[in-house]
Amino acid sequence: MEQRAAKELKDGMYVNLGIGMPTLVSNYTAPGVRIELQSENGLLGIGPYPSESEVNPDLINAGKETVTMIPGSSLFSSSESFGMIRGSKVDVTILGAMEVAANGDLANWIIPGKMVKGMGGAMDLVSSDSKVLVVMEHVAKGNKHKLKPSCSLPLTGQRVVDRCITDMAVFDFVTEGAEAPPTLMEIAPDTTVDAVREATGFDFQVAEPLKTMLAD
């Protein structure tokens, strides 16, 4: 999933990666592609995770993980960071999710049965006109649908998801104008359209031609 999501990133893009699986996407960028990672807590130019000898407890990302800085990085206040986000300076936002609805609604900040401190910067990021990519497992434990006709959890944003990449498929969503069903754009090499339909809670169109994920 992370490898497929990395194909969406082009040289020179400014990108915000959510906690969890999205943080791994930058490990798979194509040769020659340099992206600038932006963290809503005030860092532009995030480097790889530090080795034990490099750990600086004062240098963290929005998920409170220790990080490093690359040459040319800059530090600034959280208010300036959100000014960048709200000013549409971030090209791509990659997030995890608990639920994605057929119309592109996103629920990603409440985990049922667990204490969550809040949605962080997700609400601002998904409403900032950046391209929103969701990276998540296709179904939850017990084979419960995560791709649903409508979200049952509190929303992070309405009609904001442009593309969802799972372990089974890639879906595109219509987020503007009249509502239309999502389109199955790509399928994992080890599954079938029928299996994707069974694992998906909403109806969808199938692209023609239907591509295989990471086939090229």
* Per-residue confidence (pLDDT) for residue 113, from 0 to 100: 77
Q: How many CB atoms lie within 10 A of CB 107?
A: 21
List the domain boundaries for the chain: 2-212
**Helix, strand, coil % (nearest 5) of the chain?**
20, 30, 55
List 46's β-bridge partners, or say none.
Answer: 69
Active site residues: 40
User: Which structure tokens are listed for 126?
Assistant: 């998904």
DSSP code string of 64-85? S-B--EEEEEEE--HHHHHHHH
* Per-residue confidence (pLDDT) for residue 205, from 0 to 100: 97
Taking the whole predicted model, whether its pTM rises above 0.85 is answered as yes
CATH superfamily of 2-212: Glutaconate Coenzyme A-transferase (3.40.1080.10)
* Per-residue confidence (pLDDT) for residue 193, from 0 to 100: 97
Distance CA 65, CA 202 (A): 35
* Per-residue confidence (pLDDT) for residue 216, from 0 to 100: 74
pLDDT tens digit at each of 216 positions of the chain: 999 999 999 999 999 998 888 988 988 999 999 999 999 899 999 988 899 999 999 998 888 889 999 999 999 999 999 999 999 999 999 999 999 999 999 999 987 777 777 777 899 999 999 999 999 999 998 889 999 999 999 999 999 999 999 999 999 999 988 889 999 999 999 999 999 999 999 999 999 999 999 887
* Per-residue confidence (pLDDT) for residue 111, from 0 to 100: 78
DSSP 8-state code for residue 143? G
Q: How many CB atoms lie within 10 A of CB 176?
A: 7
* Per-residue confidence (pLDDT) for residue 100, from 0 to 100: 98
